[in-house]
Amino acid sequence: MASRIDQFFLVYLNTMRAVSILLFSLLISTSSAQVLGLLKYDGGGDWYANPTALDNLSTFYNEATGARTVVMAKEVSVNSLLSSGISFLHATGHGRIVFSKEEAEILRQFVHRGGFLHIDDNYGMKDFALEELAKVFNDATIESISIKHPIFQIPFQMPTGLPKIHEHDGLPQEAVGYFLHGELVAILTYETDLSDGWEDAEVHQDSKEKRSLALKMGANLVHWSLVRNSFP
């Protein structure tokens, strides 16, 4: 019975991969560059912690897939988000992050319009982010993301799931997903320092293997932000 389930999953995964490639090909042939943006948030956390991360991720993703993504030249506030053209919104830092009621509503509108939110705890941000995201997505299903989800499969297979880039407290890395009507619209990653692995090599002096894993995982997140609205 287990082998039949495994075979079914492999068929499903291969089908989803083919569909994703087709949809993605249509996207890059008919649309302008997709925009990645860095969120400048309130609360006192260092939103500017990884200044080279998004540029490196965009370059890696473009070279790996032939896509056209660009990074917004200036950080974006929640209040200017809906007119920014951003499809992939990234936030990081070490401290407190806060969203007002108005900002929470804007973030909800952002994902309902097709945007995708990724918050990466750079250490010390997790508890604040969990509280604020629960406020933003108060009607969402919040759960750890299955290793079988496409964000761990397409375009790069991540057989062990979210990679561990830096060690802090000896705790396992975690990817918490926020699902609306079954669709992943936001993710919080912690105990990983994922976006540290996107930075210039000399910043953290991570190994080539760790940087490669971090960039591949980041590429999968960007990819999901581009295709999720058309994914079966």
More confident residue, 193 or 20: 193
* pLDDT-based confidence at residue 24 (cuts at 50, 70, 90): very low
Contact residues for 116 (Cβ-Cβ < 8 A; gap 6+): 87, 88, 89, 185, 186, 221, 224, 225, 228
Residue 186 has pLDDT above 90, yes or no: yes
The secondary element (H helix, E strand) that includes residue 64 is helix 53-65
Question: For the chain, what is the mean pLDDT?
Answer: 89
Mean pLDDT value across residues 158-167: 96
pLDDT digits over 67-89, tens only?
Answer: 999 999 999 999 999 999 999 99
> What is the distance in angstroms between the CA of the first residue and the CA of the last residue of the chain?
26
pLDDT digits over 173-183, tens only?
Answer: 999 999 999 99
- Dmax (CA) for the chain in angstroms is 53
| Paired residues of 96 in beta bridges | none
Residue 20 has pLDDT above 50, yes or no: no
Q: pTM to 2 decimals?
A: 0.86
Mean pLDDT value across residues 47-55: 97
Q: How far apart are CA 192 and CA 123, in angstroms?
A: 9
Mean pLDDT value across residues 159-184: 95
* pLDDT-based confidence at residue 26 (cuts at 50, 70, 90): very low
Residue 1 has pLDDT above 60, yes or no: no
Mean pLDDT value across residues 93-102: 97
Residue 154 has pLDDT above 70, yes or no: yes
- Is the separation of the CB atoms in 110 and 35 below 8 Å? no
The whole-number pLDDT of residue 230 equals 59
Residue at token pair 């897939």: 65
The whole-number pLDDT of residue 228 equals 82
Token reading at 223:
């990819």
Domain range enclosing 16: 2-230
Percent of the chain past pLDDT 90, that is, above it, reads 82
Q: How far apart are CA 190 and CA 120, in angstroms?
A: 6
The whole-number pLDDT of residue 231 equals 55
Please compute, for residue 220, the number of CA atoms within 13 A of its CA located in the half-sphere on the CB side.
24
The one-letter amino acid code at 142 reads: I
CATH of the domain at 42: 3.40.50.12140
Domain total for the chain? 1
C-alpha separations of 94 from 115, 122, 124, 126, 177 in Å: 24, 5, 5, 9, 20
